[in-house]
Amino acid sequence: MAKTLGVPRPDQASYMLRAASEDAGRAYKRQLLDLLDLRPGHTVLDVGCGPGTDLPALAERVGPTGRVIGVDQDPAMLATARELTAAVSTVSTVEIRETDAHALPVTPGTVDRARIDRVLMHVRSPAEVLAQLHAATRPGALVGLVEPDWDTLVVDAEDLETSRAFTRYTTEKVVRHATVGRRLARLAVRAGFRVETTTATTPVFTDFEHGDHTLGLGRNMQQAIIDGHIDRKRGEAWFAGLAHEPFYASFTLVTVVCSRP
């Protein structure tokens, strides 16, 4: 049956947990965890922790003398995060706080490690959030930043021009700071950090349903057509064609680990 546009938004909290458990999600998250060099007793901050995907692993590394602070502005995400961390809260202190990343609720200079994973692309001002992180961390602290670069989104289709138009629409109209991934090192240095490592990974989607959910193919194509950016006939044919042949889509995810001098 032909695929039609306008797939509804999945439940975001459970969707993010599922995405994180898949190969591409697991690989970069584990790499970041290792690069952050967490030690027992550390205070670690997860900015935009979402459904708490990474909080149990952070709690395990900082142990009973450590402290994990997860912040997010979305109460529904935080409800899932509380459920997910209920068991680990007995092992180390896990605090979950509803707050905006532009106003981090921590005593300045007290954070040993921090991570911000696919959040800067959404915030009002990535530079302000990094300034907040700089104030929150102590000298010698390590901060891990992970963001996609949506200019690198490729979707295989017979109609290459429409794939290119879809990527352009995503970067220009859908994601607030779509190219923040490539700018991470520059932004970090401007905020007063020193860049320790810069790496990139390429999540690959070979399953149409998974790619559609994660990349918003049907949802965003429908909006691009409504907005007059892509011709309806071409856009609908492009989307319908994706489900019929082997599927390939990918994008680049940039990880920068920096230190607070």
Ligand X SMILES: C[S@@+](CC[C@H](N)C(=O)[O-])C[C@H]1O[C@@H](n2cnc3c(N)ncnc32)[C@H](O)[C@@H]1O
Q: Which residues bind ligand X (CB under 6 A)?
A: 16, 20, 48-50, 53, 72-74, 77, 100-101, 117-119, 122-123
Q: Of 27 and 226, which has the nearer Cβ to ligand X? A: 27
Q: How many CB atoms lie within 10 A of CB 186?
A: 11
Q: Of 162 and 170, which has the nearer Cβ to ligand X? A: 170
Residue 178 CB, shortest distance to ligand X, in Å, is 13
Mode of pairing for the β-strands spanning 93-98 and 111-117: unpaired
| Closest residue to ligand X: CB criterion | 50
Q: Of 100 and 231, which has the nearer Cβ to ligand X? A: 100
Identify the burial level of 75 via C-beta atoms within 10 angstroms of its C-beta, where 0-12 means exposed, 13-18 middle and 19 or more buried: exposed
Residue 235 CB, shortest distance to ligand X, in Å, is 25
Identify the burial level of 259 via C-beta atoms within 10 angstroms of its C-beta, where 0-12 means exposed, 13-18 middle and 19 or more buried: middle
Cα angle vertex 158, ends 154, 163, to 5°?
A: 35
Residue 115 CB, shortest distance to ligand X, in Å, is 8
Q: Of 7 and 49, which has the nearer Cβ to ligand X? A: 49
Residue 109 CB, shortest distance to ligand X, in Å, is 21
